[in-house]
Amino acid sequence: MSFSRICSWPIWRTFPWFSTLLARIISTTSWLLGNYDERTSIDKVLESGRGSPAFCQDSTVINADDIKPTNEIKTYVREAKGEFLGSGASGIIERLPSGNVVKSPWPGSGADDCRREITIENQIYERLGRHPRLVRIIDWDPIHCALTMEYMPNGNLKDFLLVKNDSVSTTQRFQWAQEAAEALQLLHAANVVHCDLEPKNFLLDLNLGLKIADFSGSSLEGSRASACVGKRFSLPDVDWRRQPTIQDDLFGLGSTIYCIMTGQHPFPELSSDEVENNYRTQKFPDVSNIPCGSIIKRCWLSEITSAQEIYDFIQNMA
């Protein structure tokens, strides 16, 4: 799940009740979306209202009043735990009155999958232990599958660059690139494949230190991954049914470092499909005149074998 909304929004600070209402709306909407395809085509016809005009199939008139839905639409309401910060595929992120952040699974038909993914995320944090490149875990509630962690006041790297790219120094960019490589090496050494390596999943602490985050869709010890990285950060023509590899993450790291150095995604003027077509023919953005350009290109060409190699490369440039 993405932490792209980890920074709080001013309107919710002004109106605390709004976060509670929004969390309830999102919980309900999530369930409806998750169950929409489970209903029959007849159920979908009934969406226009009970007793609405009949519909025809093979010249036979069927009155909607004579049809009973196979499923009832249910509403799931959850009490907000704090200020709503954002949400993703596996759950809802809120800031608690204590100042920490809690990640909770969605309710509804997909709750079991969400609970499993957040449980795997906690298992990954437990395996990795405390590290400067990781968000600090405060508490794990196994009953409700709620993960409490420290708050990152500067949000995620993607949003930070979007707003403040012009003020970021070259020294800071090198630091972020090296910290991103350090974080990824930490995961791979523990047999974890992130599977969604993008700037949105790197958070910034008070001192702009980089921390890798969001392992709810990651692969642990070869477990099935549920995360899907964006095409600008992915090898072309990936079969998502196969086991993810560190090479997938290293490609994403190359694109992430490109974002760090340039302040923009690869081929921002093209659609995702056009970007994938370019990657398929090994047509990449020109990196000849940007810092770390050679190591970025080697990531894209799958010539890098470990994140440690990238860390050492940047270290030797300093």
Who contacts 256 (Cβ-Cβ below 8 Å, separation ≥6)?
A: 157, 180, 197, 198, 199, 202, 233
Which residues is 156 bridged to in the sheet? 203
Q: pLDDT digits over 127-159, tens only? A: 999 999 999 999 999 999 999 999 999 999 999
Q: Give the helix/strand (H/E) hosting 33.
A: helix 16-35
**Is residue 162's pLDDT more than 70?**
yes
Q: Once rounded to an integer, what is the mean pLDDT over residues 32-55?
A: 35
pLDDT at 72: 58
Q: In 3D, which of 19, 145, 137, 127 has the Cα closest to residue 80?
A: 19
Query: In this model, does residue 181 exceed pLDDT 50?
Result: yes
pLDDT digits (tens, 9 = 90+) for 186-230: 999 999 999 999 999 999 999 999 999 999 999 999 888 888 899
Tell me, yes or no, if the pTM score tops 0.85.
no
Contacts of residue 37, Cβ cutoff 8 Å, sequence gap at least 6: none
Residue predicted with more confidence, 24 or 277: 277
| 3-state secondary structure (DSSP) of residue 104 | strand
pLDDT band at 50 (very low <50, low <70, confident <90, very high): very low
When pLDDT is averaged across residues 62-68 and rounded to a whole number, the result is 49
What letter represents residue 84's amino acid? Answer: F
pLDDT score of 78 more than 90? no
